[in-house]
Amino acid sequence: MDARADQPAATQKEVVIVRVYDAPRRLVFAAWSRAEHLIRWWGPNGFSVPACTVDFRPGGGFDLCMRGPDGHDYWMRGAFREIVAPERIVFTSIIDEAAKQEIVTTVTFAEAGGRTTLTVRQTVPVNPMMVRGQKRGWTESLERLAARVAQA
């Protein structure tokens, strides 16, 4: 598990979500690489993505706005640490601008028999509400991704 140097590991928890898609790995990986793809599936049910920019390369960044059903905007900003196409993406995101709380997310893509197993591993602050929110958000986002790759 990655932990920031100024945050003891005991203050972080790893959230792991695994999903299998009936789609080739290259297609599932591509859905993560461009803003026009992300706006169609990112975020929990009922959320939209009205604004998104992606510089998909190691050292590149992203800005993504999730708009909730109540109209409130939630911005997510981050940077890509590692991209190994079509196997792995590692990125950081800031969840609280004031606290500068950084989350590290690792997404891996494994293909077998034309199906893709996607694993999301994310370090989050040890906070039951945050952990539940991340699990729910990722689960719903990855369900939306399943619908998106099924249309391709």
Instruction: Report how far apart, in Å, the C-alpha atoms of 123 and of each of 43, 83, 126 are.
Output: 18, 18, 9
Whether 108 contacts 90, CB under 8 Å: no
Would you say residue 132 has pLDDT above 80? no
Adjacent-strand bridge partners of 45: none
Strands 48-54 and 61-67: what pairing? antiparallel
Single-letter residue type at 62? F
d(CA 27, CA 71): 31
pLDDT tens for each residue of 20-42: 999 999 999 999 999 999 999 99
Instruction: Dig out the tokens for 9 from the structure.
Output: 């590991």
CATH number for the 9-151 domain, one of 3.40.50.2300, 3.30.530.20, 3.90.920.20, 3.40.720.10?
Answer: 3.30.530.20
Domain ranges of the chain: 9-151
Single-letter residue type at 149? V
pLDDT tens for each residue of 55-110: 999 999 999 999 999 999 988 899 999 999 999 999 999 866 666 778 899 999 99
Tokens 């190691």 map to which residue? 58
